[in-house]
Structure 1
Amino acid sequence: MASSYELKATARDRVGKGAARALRREGLIPAVIYGDKKPALPISIPLKETSLALHKGGFLTHIATVEVDGAKHQVIAKDFQLHPVRDELLHVDFLRVGKGTTLTVDIPVHFINEETCPGIKKGGMLNVVRHTVEMNVPATAIPEALVFDLAKADIGDTLHISATTLPEGAHPTITDRDFTVATIAAPGGGVKDDEEEETEEAGEE
């Protein structure tokens, strides 16, 4: 399961650009918690701690605990805004995570045993068609990554989604085919991009 982080927040009753600027002068940024059939809760959160969580990676797949005036909320970041020039965090939207909540998230793809992969040892190249896979997953069991083993992959082999063990309760949003995640391309054979690979997959149906 994706690891979590914690933030301390304060409920805010002022909204708008002026209020947001005032928060930023205090090292805070505006955010909102919504969902789970409850009213939206505008909050302010610390810029430094939130930025650290963002830059650690997996910000949109990690469950967080946000403590608002003593009350703890289980949430997941669904969207955030950055300053167009300074790349500074400006605002975060958090979705409440209730019992039985299912989320649609992009799960990273990882590969193991590249150093012993027969195809790569022969000069082939790992051509990653999908760096992430969009999946429906339980909010309380979001996987860190989908792992594909290259220990037996040879030149010309294709790794489909079926080549990995999916976490319990997790399902790809693409359900009509065993789609390609990566291939072992021949030396000098060129690299197909995602669109070309998808076109070939569609033609195979």
Structure 2
Amino acid sequence: MTEKFVVAAKPREAQGTGASRRLRRTGWTPAIVYGANKPPQSILVEHKEIYRQMDYEAFYSHILTLDIEGQQEEVVIKAVQRHPAKKQVLHADFLRVQADQAIRVRVPLHFEGEEIAPGVKTGGGVAEHMLNEVEVECLPRYLPEYLTVDISKLELDDTLHLSDLTVPEGVEIVELKHENDAGVVSIHVPRIAKEEDEEEGGDEGEAAEGDSEQDDQQGDDAEGDDDADKS
């Protein structure tokens, strides 16, 4: 992990919904920090700064330094509440971390090799991503910024599952601990193309059936002519 994020904060005195609204109007975002066998603490973070940091994907999968007026703690961000319509962070939850205690964090998946995968390059398929992130469990020092998913060898109709992913030393995928080997990415023919092929096949079948019926009718007409000649 090469990036370092420092979140400046200060203790929060005023509590309640009304106080939170007033604080947001003055450019502060209410937050809370908890964990590591310490009591939870209500804090405030500057909105424009945390909003800027949240633009970085790595912010969500890094050990962050929370600086509360000079008192620093290592944390990870566990939850973010955003305004449904405005570009505004309403609340944030931070979890304290300890070097000897495992943490669970959701990390993004980075997909590689799609353009050279046989199912795409020669099979005419497209890659469908079923997951874009996974929850991992590890000690803080092993926390990866992301997991790489190599799909360069996937054929048409192949699927990669969680158990197929390569994870760094000391890292476990939480879903696999619960025997949930979910699909991550698959390659398949686009639905529109498949429907067009099926329609073309149907048209050809109908045309062939029509020709057959026409041939049968011609045969019946010829047989009728023969009977007329005999009489």
Tell me the TM-score normalized by structure 1.
0.81
* Cα drift, residue 167 of structure 1: 1.3
The residue that corresponds to 1:155 in the other structure is 156
Cα 1:74–1:121 change in 2 (3 A) is: same
* Equivalence for 2:174: 173
User: CA separation of 1:189/1:158 partners in 2, compared to 1, >3 Å: closer, same or farther?
Assistant: farther
Q: 1:64-114: per-residue Cα shift (whole Å, max 9, x none)? A: 111112111111111122223324112111111112232223322222122
SS of match in other structure, 2:32 = strand
**CA apart distance, 1:177:** 5.8
2:85 aligned partner, one-letter code: V
What is the CA–CA distance in structure 2 between the aligned matches of 1:7 and 1:185, rounded to whole Å?
A: 43
Q: Secondary structure at the match of 2:64?
A: strand
1:102-144 C-alpha deviation (Å, 9 max, x unpaired): 2223322222122222211111111222222222233333222
Partner of 2:214: none
Counterpart in the other structure of 1:127:
128
Q: Distance in 2 between matches of 1:93 and 1:177?
A: 27
C-alpha displacement of 1:189? 5.0
SS of 2:78's partner is strand
Whether the 8 Å CA contact 1:110–1:147 is kept in 2: the answer is yes
**Which residue matches 1:79?**
79
- Residue pair 1:60, 1:79 contacting (<8 A) in 2 also: no
Deviation of the 1:61 alpha carbon = 2.2
1:145-203: CA deviations, max 9, x gaps?
Answer: 2212223222232223343321112112223265432222145458xxxxxxxxxxxxx
Is the 2:99–2:139 Cα contact (8 Å) retained in structure 1?
no
CA 1:184–1:47: 2 relative to 1, 3 Å? same
CA contact (8 A) 1:156 1:185 kept: yes
Q: Relative to total residues, which structure has the larger strand share, 1 or 2? A: 1
Which amino acid in the other structure matches residue 135 of structure 2? Answer: E
Q: Is the 8 A contact 2:34 2:40 kept in 1?
A: yes
Q: Relative contact order: is structure 1 or structure 2 higher (C-alpha 8 Å, sep ≥ 6)?
A: 1
Q: What are the within-5 Å matches in structure 2 for residues 34-113 of structure 1?
A: 34-113=34-113
Stretch moving more, 17-26 or 74-83: 17-26
> Secondary structure of the equivalent of 2:49?
helix
- 1:184 matches 2:187: yes
Q: Number of paired residues? A: 190
* SS of equivalent to 2:110: strand
Aligned-residue CA RMSD in angstroms? Answer: 2.3
What is the CA–CA distance in structure 2 between the aligned matches of 1:177 and 1:77, rounded to whole Å? 25
Gaps of 5+ in 1: 191-205
**Counterpart-to-counterpart distance in 2, 1:47 and 1:24:** 8
Distance (Å, rounded) in 2 between the aligned partners of 1:22 and 1:57: 29
Q: Name the stretch that deviates more: 16-25 or 59-68.
A: 16-25
Cα distance between partner residues in 2 of 1:82 and 1:132: 19
Structure with greater helix percent:
2
Check conservation: 1:20, 1:30, Cα contact below 8 A.
yes
